[in-house]
Structure formats: C-alpha cells, structure tokens
Amino acid sequence: MRAALLALILLYGTAGLAAFISPYPPYYQDRNNVLRPPLYRSIPHDSLRLFPIGTDGKRHLFGATSGQFFLLGTDMFGRDLFTRICYGARISLTMGLIGTVIALAAGSLVGLLAATWGGWVDSLCMEMANFVLALPTLFVLLGLRAVFPWEITTTAIYLLLVFMLALTGWADIARVVRAKVLLMRSEDYIQAALAVGVSPARLIRNHMIPGLIPYWIVQGTFLIPVFLMSEVTLSFLGAGIPEPDASWGNILRQGLSLGILSRSPWILFPGGFVVIAVLSFNALGEALRRRVEVRSGKEVP
C-alpha cells in the first residue's frame, strides 16, 4: 500500500508541478531533433544543470544551459517526450479523479432516492441504472463524443469527457448504494430513529452518509483507473484531447504508425505511466478494502 500511495503522490506531484519539472514549454518544437532517443544530448555533460533558466525564461528542475537535452527522447514533431508526459498527466490523472467524484455523487444520490422513497421512484431509478449498465461503455462514449462538434476548445472537450465518463459510471454505484441503504434501514438504530420521527433528510445526513463513506473511498480508488483508461483510449482513438495539447492517450497515438514505432519505440513511454497509475490505484483499493472489511467485519462490494 505504501509503494502504491508513494507512486500516486509522485504522479500527481509531477502533474501539479509540470511547468517546473519539465525542461521545456509544452508546445516547444525542435524540428532538427525529431525522434531522438532517450538521454539524447547535443552538448557535453557539463552543460547540464539543476534549476536552469529555460527557453521560456522560467526556472526548471533541470535542463541544458546550451544545446538540447531530451531525457526520454522526442516525438515526431521534435517535442520533448518527458515534457509532454508531465503535462499529459494533468489531463489524464485529473480527468479520472473529477469524473469519479461526479459519478459517486450522482450514483449515490440516485441510490439514496431509490432506497428512501421506494415505490415507483425505486423502480424508475433501478430501471435507469440497469439500462446504463446494459450499454457497451466504449461505444456509448464514442457515440456521445460524435454528437458534439469536433472543432471545440480543449477545455470544452475536457469538461465534455468528464461529463461522459460520469454519465456511464454512476449506475453501478447507484445499485450498490441502494442495497447498502436498504440494509442500514433494517438496523435497530435506524428503526429507532424512524420510530421517534427523525426526518428522512436528517436520517440520511447523520446515519446513512457516514456509513457510506468507507464504500465511497474504496470504490473511488477502483473507479479512477477505469476512467483514466477510458480517457487514454478515447484520446488514442482520436476522439479525446486533440493535438497540440498533451494527454497520455494522444501521445501514444503516434505509435499507430508502424514506421514511427519501429524507429522510436520510446514513444510508448506514456503507456508505462498508465500501467503504474492503474496498478497503484488497484493496489491501494485492495488494501483499503481489506482494512474496511477488518474494521466492519463485513465485505465491501
């Protein structure tokens, strides 16, 4: 768990400090250094410095005082791959995080309404959830993306993808929350609160939400990598974040060309960061699940 947590702290720290950690601006191109290998330098070692002033006039963690140095090589446009990965982490990692928060909020609201009100409200909410769960997620995401114009800003695409991910991810949460709330309603302390006339809003706020927090934490750690992979897949297929802005998916998209991939296999480096992020979230989720089960004595879905 500690290793997974450390890896995630490093990944999110890199995303947050991308402007300082990366040696070049995100859109900087050097057409004289296309598809350079990792650790390529056009200058001697003594030109490498910590905390130099970069080409953008800002201080960076490392860089060359003269010539060029590319830690992970360059892409087909001569852009520093390490810089692109750092800036791409901002989009790929935060999109999964924000999408998960929205999906948890929406799914929990639907589940609470279904379990609290019952009757036709319960039936309607669960039928909606079953309908969403029956849909093939990737094709739904591609179809929803096709509805909106392709020529929109990166910010608009980012928000659109977050909304789309949350729209496809709330249904399973709603079903689990409904089941857990119905189980809690059968507990003696809930029945006692109902007997003395506690309002539904107060019952949810004071008793049900605290009982759902462990589930939200565990489920969130498993849902973030799912949304991360969805964003990477969409950008890889050309339906996500467009060039020249970076995400891990559209960096990997350059590997679709077998000619480029055979000449520069380092273009797949973002895939390694995706694997690290997904494995770290899953390991953290499993550790949290075991701790919650030990404390509660019950299995967490």
Token pair, residue 58, equals 């800002």
User: Hey, is 110 helix, strand or coil?
Assistant: helix
Question: Average pLDDT of 110-114?
Answer: 91
Distances in Å between the Cα of 39 and the Cα atoms of 52, 73, 81 are: 18, 6, 11
Least confident span in 10-14, 67-71, 199-203 = 199-203
User: Hey, is 51 helix, strand or coil?
Assistant: coil
- pLDDT at position 48 is 82
CA neighbor of 228 nearest in space, from 270, 257, 261, 266: 270
- pLDDT at position 217 is 92
**pLDDT grade for 46, boundaries at 50, 70 and 90:** low
- pLDDT at position 20 is 94
Encode pLDDT of 168-200 as tens digits.
Answer: 999 999 999 999 988 888 777 778 877 877 777
CA neighbor of 161 nearest in space, from 146, 147, 180, 141: 141
In this predicted structure, the answer to whether residue 299 has a pLDDT above a threshold of 60 is no
In this predicted structure, the answer to whether residue 214 has a pLDDT above a threshold of 60 is yes
In this predicted structure, the answer to whether residue 167 has a pLDDT above a threshold of 80 is yes
- pLDDT at position 221 is 94
Least confident span in 45-54, 175-184, 209-218 = 45-54
User: Hey, is 153 helix, strand or coil?
Assistant: coil
Give the list of residues 6+ apart from residue 129 with CB closer than 8 angstroms, or none: 110, 170, 171, 172, 174, 175
Encode pLDDT of 267-293 as tens digits.
Answer: 999 999 999 999 999 999 999 988 887
- pLDDT at position 296 is 61
Token pair, residue 35, equals 């598809």
197: exposed, middle or buried (C-beta count within 10 Å: 0-12, 13-18, 19+)? exposed
Question: Average pLDDT of 65-90?
Answer: 92
With respect to CATH, is domain 87-296 assigned 1.10.760.10?
A: no
* Neighbour tally for 253: CB within 10 Å: 19
**pLDDT grade for 201, boundaries at 50, 70 and 90:** confident
Give the list of residues 6+ apart from residue 13 with CB closer than 8 angstroms, or none: none
Least confident span in 54-58, 80-84, 200-204, 264-268 = 200-204
- pLDDT at position 194 is 74
CA neighbor of 7 nearest in space, from 267, 292, 284: 284
Q: How far apart are CA 158 and CA 30, in angstroms?
A: 27
Question: Average pLDDT of 206-232?
Answer: 91
Question: Average pLDDT of 248-257?
Answer: 90
- pLDDT at position 281 is 96
For the entire predicted model, the pTM comes to 0.89
Q: Which of 65-79, 154-168, 191-205 has the highest mean pLDDT?
A: 154-168
